[in-house]
């Protein structure tokens, strides 16, 4: 059974499924997304040379029926609830897709307020057809949870413990991180001091991000590598100017990645965490 839960930034939500009041009939655009292919053609060349491609925005088109117990007030209240949740002026909504064991989410903005057709057969006593169109600027469906495991240092050896998110000790250890999605996944990194010039490296790609700054014991360094959301913060304050110039805001490639942490401070009190959400091109 397909179910959609649409939640706005105020926390208000509606659930579309196979029961009243919001009966889900069709969902288009969840599996397919348009691709723009980049190519280059030289004089005299047959065909062209392939350069790359990018995915376009995802458009979700949702059709269904509001069903009530032949109570005009219930029908009006349900229409009003849908309008409140999908008010475009509130910004993006979160769309959660549930179908048996599959649970994914994506953010989108309503391209119009909900459409309630007035033609014959589209409305009556106790029912009203509706149409919702959502534009998802980031086309990827995401897991609703963060991936991760923990690696911590204890006196006398290493202790591995399964938890969330992934944590590294401060003594240059490395850890395997599996990206089960279809595309590269940006990461969030948090380092709790002490540390000196901390560096986190994706050994699989050879890319690293290094901060040329000493972190005191109570300092917290936060890094995001997501496109359009990149940041480097120390205790909540902008710290972009401390980035090593050769650093890269790397991501986890699909499949296995080896990620390592190093610092010029050998303290066992340092805590390093990395977390990410897998990304999928369709469901």
Residue 152 has φ and ψ, to the nearest 5°, of -130, 155
pLDDT at 121: 86
What would the pLDDT profile of 98-145 be if each residue is shown by its tens digit?
Answer: 999 999 999 999 999 999 998 888 988 889 999 999 999 999 999 999
Low-confidence ranges of the chain (pLDDT < 70): 149-172, 266
pLDDT at 269: 82
pLDDT at 38: 96
pLDDT at 72: 84
Residue 228 has φ and ψ, to the nearest 5°, of 80, -10
Name the pTM for this structure.
0.87
pLDDT at 157: 35
What domains can you pick out in the chain, each with its CATH number? 2-139 (2.40.30.200), 150-278 (2.60.120)
pLDDT at 166: 59
């Amino acid at each position: 059974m397909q179910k959609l839960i649409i939640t706005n930034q105020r926390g208000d939500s509606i659930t579309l499924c196979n029961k009243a009041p919001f009966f889900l009939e069709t969902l288009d655009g969840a599996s397919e997304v348009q691709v723009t292919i980049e190519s280059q053609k030289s004089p005299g060349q047959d065909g062209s040379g392939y350069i790359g491609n990018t995915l376009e925005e995802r458009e979700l088109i949702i059709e269904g029926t509001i069903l009530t117990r032949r109570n005009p007030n219930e029908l009006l209240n349900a229409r009003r609830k849908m309008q409140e949740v999908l008010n475009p002026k509130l910004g993006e909504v979160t769309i959660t897709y549930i179908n048996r064991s599959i649970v994914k989410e994506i953010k989108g903005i309503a391209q119009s307020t909900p459409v309630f057709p007035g033609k014959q057969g589209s409305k009556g006593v106790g029912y009203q057809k509706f149409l919702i169109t959502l534009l998802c600027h980031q086309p990827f469906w995401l897991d609703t949870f963060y991936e991760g495991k923990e690696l911590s240092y204890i006196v006398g050896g290493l202790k591995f413990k399964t938890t969330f998110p992934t944590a590294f000790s401060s003594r240059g250890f490395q850890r395997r991180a599996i990206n089960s999605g279809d595309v590269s996944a940006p990461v969030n990194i948090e380092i709790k001091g002490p540390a000196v010039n901390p560096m986190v490296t994706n050994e699989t790609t050879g890319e690293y991000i290094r901060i040329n700054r000493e972190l005191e014991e109570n300092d917290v360094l936060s890094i995001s590598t997501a496109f359009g959301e990149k940041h480097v913060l120390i205790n909540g304050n902008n710290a972009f100017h401390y980035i090593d110039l050769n650093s890269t805001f790397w991501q986890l490639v699909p499949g296995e990645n080896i990620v390592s942490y190093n610092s010029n401070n050998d303290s066992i009190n340092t805590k390093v965490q990395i977390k990410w959400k897998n990304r999928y091109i369709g469901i």
